[in-house]
Every structure is written in C-alpha cells, then in structure tokens.
Amino acid sequence: MKIYVLRYGHRPGRDKRITTHVGLVARAFGAHGFILGDVIDEKVIGSIKKVMERWGGNLYIDAGVDSRKYVLEWKRRGGIVVHLTMYGLHIDDVIDEIRGLNKDILIVVGAEKVPPFFYEVADYNVAIGHQPHSEVAALAVFLDRFYMGKELHLSFPNAKLIIVPSPRGKKVKKIAEEEEGESTKD
C-alpha cells in the first residue's frame, strides 16, 4: 500500500513556498510520493530533495506530469483517489472506510481553484472541516488521521542528521561522522 500526493494548480510565480511545504509534509507525514502536476519547478523539487539529502527519506518525486492523465492511470491500476476539499465529506465520516480499503491512495490537493474533473473522478472528496484553510494543513491532518498519529514517530534510515530531542536549543546528531554536535541550521 502506498500513498502519493498530487499537487494540482501550482503557480511557479507565487506558490513555491507553499508547494514545497506540501512536499515536505508528504515526506514527514508518511507519504511515499510527491507529484507536481502539469508544471516543472526545479526550485520546489530542489528544496524537497535537499531536505531528503540531509534528513533522509525516499519520497518518490515527479513533476510536469499531466494531472488528469495521472489520476486516470492511478485508478486504472486499482488505486483510489482522495481529493481534499472543504466541500467534501467530513474526514471523520470516511477515514476509517478509506483506511480499511487497504489500497494505494493518490491524494489530490489544489492551489486556487480545482476544476470539476477532480471532484468527479475522485473516489472520495474529503473535507478537513468545512472551512477554507490550507493545502498544507489539509494534507497534514489527513495523513495524521490516516496513520492515527503513528507517522509522527517515523524515522528515516538514510538520514545524515537526526534530532536529539532537547528541552532547549538545538541538538543534532550527525550520522555519517558518528559524532554529536550542536547545529544552528533548520
């Protein structure tokens, strides 16, 4: 069972930061793939890869794919499509059913306006509450509910850096050199 996130409607001029955050949440909250639909934005992809290089993870990344064709192909291969939208069914009413299907899931998140195609092709239109907020928040809450909180304990075997929880300051363990040290970087 794998979970991919398809970011639809990315506008390179204004969405770089938020789309990067969608990718980072996908990685950190247990998704297996991040797909940037219809556009290639090297800066976004580069930022996500840079985080993976240091903090680990094997998130599959692709960009510039035709979003509509991707969704249809995903379904043709037996996966389900979950479109996150405030207009959908409340997450509390569908999350157990979605988890219980035990199928590959493609999560679609939009930017400004998502065309009717995605509402119609989705197996589930899921609302993280019925108020407008953010694709980053919506994705995080969906994955958290899906994994029932376990994803926050994920560790990434290929990480070069691991955080040592600290009540104050930043403590980071460098795995490659097998030495501990303080870091001021994010």
Ligand X SMILES: C[S@@+](CC[C@H](N)C(=O)[O-])C[C@H]1O[C@@H](n2cnc3c(N)ncnc32)[C@H](O)[C@@H]1O
* Residues annotated in a binding site for S-adenosyl-L-methionine: 84, 110-114
* CB of 114 vs ligand X, minimal distance in Å: 5
| Strand blocks (E) in the chain | 3-7, 33-37, 60-65, 80-90, 105-109, 124-127, 161-163, 171-174, 179-182
> How far, in Å, CA of 111 to CA of 134, rounded?
9
> How far, in Å, CA of 34 to CA of 42, rounded?
14
* CB of 32 vs ligand X, minimal distance in Å: 19
Nearer to ligand X, 10 or 27 (CB): 10
* CB of 43 vs ligand X, minimal distance in Å: 20
Binding site for ligand X (CB under 6 A): 84-86, 109-111, 113-114, 127-129, 131-135, 138
* CB of 136 vs ligand X, minimal distance in Å: 8
Nearer to ligand X, 128 or 172 (CB): 128
Amino acid at residue number 169: G
Axis-axis angle for helices 16-28, 42-55 (nearest 10): 30
Nearer to ligand X, 31 or 128 (CB): 128
Measure the N-to-C terminal CA separation of the chain; round to a whole number of Å.
31
Show the tokens assigned to 125.
Answer: 């239109």
Q: Are 60 and 6 within 8 A, CB to CB? A: no
* CB of 108 vs ligand X, minimal distance in Å: 7
**CB nearest ligand X: which residue?**
110
Nearer to ligand X, 3 or 114 (CB): 114
Nearer to ligand X, 121 or 175 (CB): 121
Exposed, middle or buried: residue 158 (CB in 10 Å: 0-12, 13-18, 19+)?
exposed
